[in-house]
Amino acid sequence: MTAGLAEAARDYRWLLDRGYPERGSIKLVGDRLRLSAPERLSLYRGVTSSSAARARAAKLLRSIEGRFLVLDAYNALFLCANRLAGRFVFIADDRFLRDSGGAHGRVTDPTRFERAMQLVADAVAAARPALVVAAFDSPVPHSAGHARAFGEALAARGVATETELAKSADFAVKTACSLDGAVAGTGDSALIDATSEV
């Protein structure tokens, strides 16, 4: 983290702790310190109010072995693909892993995305959940193919898997977790706030 970004994080957190709105605070701090767009995105994704950070961190499980995992699939896959592309990845205030890459539902390098899929499948298999439901956003181009390939990657590693195409994967994850008591697999702040265990 650069000195400018570290200073921006302190200032931004100070504003959030006092109830100032996120967007206005990002603009104020970002403009004052001349932050780039990726730095502003890192600030937005990585820094939150102290109370929100504590509440989210308290939901983070040490192990999901034997649990029912509902995975926000593109959230995990794009994070991994962004890291493979050399983009900044960091542990946020709330202890969740996030990145500064804005993929916006576009797979720009299919080979890299396939590699990310294999790496995420490895990580999920190593966590040994009892069952995985991987929720994919259907509006993303080629989502049906991504869901099929990811399901096959998990199945090849001996993981009991179902994939789901949904207009909103966030809604699908939230619904499954509230009905079935499943663990949410996501770094999305809104989803973390809406679920009890991550």
Radius of gyration of the chain (CA): 17
Q: Between 180 and 126, where is the model more confident?
A: 126
127 and 33 within one domain: no
152 and 183 within one domain: yes
Answer yes or no: is 42 within a domain.
Answer: yes
Q: CA-CA distance, 108 to 16, in Å (whole number)? A: 34
- Give the model's pLDDT for residue 44: 92
| pLDDT single digits (tens) 120-179 | 999 999 999 999 999 999 999 999 999 999 999 999 999 999 999 999 999 999 998 887
The residue range of the domain holding 115 is: 68-194
CATH of the domain at 153: 3.40.50
CA angle 40, 172, 133 (to 5 degrees): 100
115 and 37 within one domain: no
Residues 6 or more apart whose CB falls under 8 angstroms from that of 4 comprise 33, 34, 35, 39
**Residue in this structure with the two tokens 């995105």, named with its chain if needed:** 41
- Label residue 108 exposed, middle or buried (CB < 10 Å: 0-12, 13-18, 19+): exposed
* Number of domains making up the chain: 2
105 and 134 within one domain: yes
E strand map for the chain: 68-72, 89-91, 97-99, 131-137, 161-166, 183-185
92 and 10 within one domain: no
108 and 27 within one domain: no
- Give the model's pLDDT for residue 106: 84
Q: Between 10 and 2, where is the model more confident?
A: 10
Answer yes or no: is 138 within a domain.
Answer: yes
165 and 106 within one domain: yes
Give the pTM: 0.90
Per-residue pLDDT band for 105 (boundaries 50, 70, 90) equals confident
84 and 24 within one domain: no
Taking CA atoms, 136 is separated from 11, 74, 90, 130, 189, in Å, by 36, 6, 24, 20, 17
